[in-house]
Amino acid sequence: MEGSGKLIVFSAPSGAGKTTLVRHLLKQDELNLAFSISAASRSPRAGETEGIDYYFLGIEGFKKRIKANDFLEFEEVYKDQFYGTLKAEVERLWALGKNVIFDIDVVGGLRLKKKFPEQTLAIFVKPPSINELQIRLKNRKTESAEKIAMRVAKASTEMATAPQFDVIIKNDDLKRAKAEAIEVVKKFIQD
């Protein structure tokens, strides 16, 4: 797969604030970004829309696409919960002349960086602490206590991958983190 667009990857433990930062960047027209809509094996949450937040394939549908070699990368992010980037999605956005921005897990993020080393800026969003992650996920009210525990349990291993990323943005003060995100992405796109 080839294309001239750039890839901006945001990875972090769940609750660190990637979605918040990515949404903010998408509002900056001068960055010419488009969001890579991932495929997911899970069902939509309240407020999520098919083809906007994810392509919700269901577990069987997802496995079919794995067999067909349709993914650029995919991961079983949590037990029995698959997420992945479809090749066709990145091709679609490159064809529109866009730089593509991703909200994906740390393993997927590093895999994309390896596949497209020159074209990719891999950003790790670092939460102030694991305890703060738990508080944010509780406040977000989208996950059951069990699912929060599962996400928090994974956070330490994910935090250990931070040094492999090109940039680490600490998301303590959100306003500052947003400004830093714009600055690093702008610089990468202009270079």
Annotated binding residues, as ranges? 12-19
55 interface partner picked from ligand ADP, ligand GDP, none, CB below 5 to 8 A per type: none
104 interface partner picked from ligand ADP, ligand GDP, none, CB below 5 to 8 A per type: ligand GDP
| Binding status of residue 122 toward ligand GDP by CB under 6 A | no
Pairing of strands 81-86, 38-40: antiparallel
Residue type, 25: L
**Contact set for ligand ADP, span 135-174 (CB under 6 A):** 136, 139-140, 171, 174
Q: Which residue is nearest to ligand GDP (CB)?
A: 108
Report the residue from 7, 22, 104, 148 that binds ligand GDP according to the rule CB under 6 A: 104
Q: 86 pairs with which residues across the strands?
A: 71
The H-or-E segment that residue 147 falls in is: helix 145-159
- Nearest distance from residue 191's CB to ligand GDP, in Å? 26
Angle between helices 18-26 and 174-190 (to 10 degrees): 60
Tell me how far apart the alpha carbons of residues 177 and 100 are, in angstroms, rounded to a whole number. 20
